[in-house]
C-alpha cells in the first residue's frame, strides 16, 4: 500500500481531510489520484509512506518505510542528510547528487507543473505596466532560527520600491495559513523577484527572468539555489531592483539562466512528472514488499 502523509498546515483536523491548495497537497494530489492512494495525516505501518515535510512533523510507526516527497522544489541543504528517509523523490539530477544519509535518490520532476507543460495553462496577455511577482521564502525556521537567505524581513521596503510596476506580492505559505502562489501568477509575470527558495527554481524552469532581491547572506553552498544564484540577475541593494527589472523586461532571461533551466527540471520530465513519480513509488512498493 502507498499512502501520502500531509503536515499540519495541509490537513484539516476538524473535517479529517486535506486542505486543497496547500503546498504539500499540491505536490502530491495528481500522483495520489493516479495511484488511487490514500491521503492521510500520519504514516501507516506497513505502507510506503510518502511524506511532504520533515520527519519531525509525523508520528512514525516502528518499521515504517518513508519516502520524502517534499512540498517545495528548493534544496537549502535539506537533502544532505536524506531527510532521515529510506528514499527521496527529487526534482532533478542536480539535487539527487546531493542526497545523503543512505537515502535512495529518485529523480521524479515536479508533478504539479505537468499542466503547464501539457499546454493546459497559458499566460495572460501583456499589461500596460510590467508585471512583477515578488515571492520571498520563509525567514524563520520551525525552531525559531532566522535564516539569511530570505529577503522577507525587508519586504515592506522592497514592495515600496516596486510600486511603479504591476506587483503581485505572494508571501511564503508559512505566513498565509498555507496558501501558495498560484501557478498562474508565475505564468503571468514578466519578471519574478525572489530570494533563495523554491521561487528561484520555478522561475528558471518556466523561462521567466529572475531577479534575486538583496539578502543578508548567500544561499546554502552547492545547493540548487547557489547554482542558480550565479546565473540570474542579483540586486546588491534594494535601490538596484528597478534597473535590473527593467533590463529583465527588455532582454528576458540571461543566457546562463536559460542554460540552467534543464538542470532544474529535465526536459523529459516536463509534462510527465506525475507518471514518473507513480512509477518510482510502485517500484519501491514492489521492492520493499519482496523483502
Confidence at 47, pLDDT banded by 50, 70, 90:
very high
Task: Give the pLDDT of residue 142.
Answer: 64
- Mean pLDDT for the stretch of residues 69-90: 91
Q: What are phi and psi of 25, to 5 degrees?
A: -70, -40
pLDDT band of residue 289 (cuts 50, 70, 90) is confident
Dump the DSSP string for 38-57: EEESS--TTSEEEESS-GGG
Question: Residue 173 has what pLDDT?
Answer: 76
Q: Where are the beta strands (DSSP E) in the chain?
A: 2-5, 11-12, 17-18, 38-40, 48-51, 65-68, 87-90, 104-107, 131-134, 166-169, 191-194, 210-212, 233-234
Question: pTM, whole model, 2 decimals?
Answer: 0.93
Q: Which of 148-152, 196-200, 228-232, 243-247 has the lowest mean pLDDT?
A: 148-152
Please compute the mean of the pLDDT values over residues 211-216 and round it to a whole number.
95
Q: Which residues pair with 146 in a beta bridge?
A: 140
Torsion angles phi and psi, residue 279, rounded to 5:
-65, -40
pLDDT confidence of 21, banded at 50, 70, 90? confident
Tell me the Cα Rg of the chain: 19
Q: Could you give the residue range(s) of every CATH 3.40.50.2000 domain in the chain?
A: 131-265
Give the Å distances, CA to CA, from 137 to 32, 152, 201, 206.
27, 7, 12, 18
Cβ atoms 199, 163 nearer than 8 A: no
For residues 83 and 101, give the distance between their C-alpha atoms in angstroms, rounded to a whole number.
Answer: 8
**Which has the closest alpha carbon to 255: 217, 206, 288, 209?**
209
**What mean pLDDT comes out for the span 249-276?**
97
Q: Is the CB of residue 187 less than 8 Å from the CB of residue 206?
A: yes
Phi, psi of 12 (to 5 degrees): -95, 100
Residue with cell 514592495: 159
Encode pLDDT of 106-135 as tens digits.
999 999 999 999 999 999 998 899 999 999
**Residue 57, pLDDT above cutoff 80:** yes
What distance in Å separates the CA atoms of residue 193 and residue 132, rounded to the nearest whole number?
A: 7
Kindly list the distances between the CA atom of residue 64 and the CA atoms of 1, 50, 60, 120, 175, in Å, as whole numbers in the listed order.
12, 11, 7, 37, 31
* Cell numbers 490514500: residue: 38
3-state helix, strand, coil in the chain (%, to 5): 40, 15, 45
| Pairing of the two strands 104-107 and 131-134 | unpaired
Mean pLDDT, residues 255-263 taken together: 97
Give the count of beta carbons closer than 10 Å to the beta carbon of residue 204: 28
Q: What is the pLDDT of residue 87?
A: 97
The CATH number of the structural domain formed by 131-265 is: 3.40.50.2000
Amino acid at each position: 500500500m502507498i499512502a501520502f502523509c500531509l503536515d499540519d498546515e495541509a490537513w484539516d483536523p476538524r473535517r479529517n481531510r486535506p486542505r486543497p491548495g496547500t503546498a504539500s497537497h499540491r505536490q502530491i494530489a495528481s500522483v495520489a489520484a493516479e495511484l488511487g492512494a490514500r491521503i492521510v495525516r500520519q504514516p501507516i505501518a506497513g505502507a510506503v509512506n510518502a511524506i511532504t515535510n520533515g520527519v519531525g512533523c509525523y508520528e512514525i510507526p516502528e518499521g515504517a518505510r518513508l519516502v520524502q516527497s517534499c512540498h517545495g522544489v528548493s534544496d537549502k541543504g535539506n537533502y544532505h542528510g536524506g531527510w532521515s528517509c529510506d528514499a527521496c523523490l527529487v526534482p532533478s539530477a542536480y539535487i539527487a547528487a546531493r542526497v545523503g544519509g543512505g537515502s535512495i535518490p529518485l529523480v521524479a520532476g515536479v508533478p504539479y507543473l505537468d499542466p503547464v507543460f501539457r499546454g493546459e495553462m497559458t499566460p495572460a496577455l501583456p499589461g500596460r505596466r510590467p508585471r512583477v511577482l515578488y515571492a520571498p521564502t520563509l525567514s524563520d525556521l520551525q525552531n525559531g532560527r532566522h535564516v539569511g537567505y530570505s529577503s522577507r524581513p525587508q519586504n515592506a521596503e522592497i514592495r515600496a520600491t516596486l510600486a511603479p510596476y504591476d506587483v503581485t506580492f505572494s508571501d511564503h505559505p508559512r505566513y498565509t495559513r498555507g496558501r501558495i502562489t498560484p501557478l498562474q501568477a508565475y505564468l503571468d509575470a514578466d519578471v519574478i523577484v525572489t530570494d533563495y527558495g523554491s521561487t528561484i527554481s520555478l522561475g528558471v524552469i518556466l523561462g521567466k527572468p529572475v531577479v534575486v532581491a538583496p539578502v543578508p547572506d548567500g544561499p546554502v553552498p552547492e545547493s540548487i539555489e547557489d547554482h542558480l544564484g550565479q546565473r540570474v540577475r542579483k540586486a546588491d541593494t534594494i535601490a538596484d531592483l528597478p534597473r535590473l527589472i527593467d533590463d529583465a523586461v527588455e532582454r528576458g532571461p540571461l543566457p546562463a539562466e536559460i542554460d540552467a533551466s534543464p538542470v532544474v527540471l529535465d526536459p523529459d520530465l516536463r509534462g510527465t512528472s506525475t507518471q514518473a513519480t507513480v512509477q518510482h513509488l510502485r517500484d519501491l512498493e514492489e521492492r520493499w514488499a519482496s523483502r
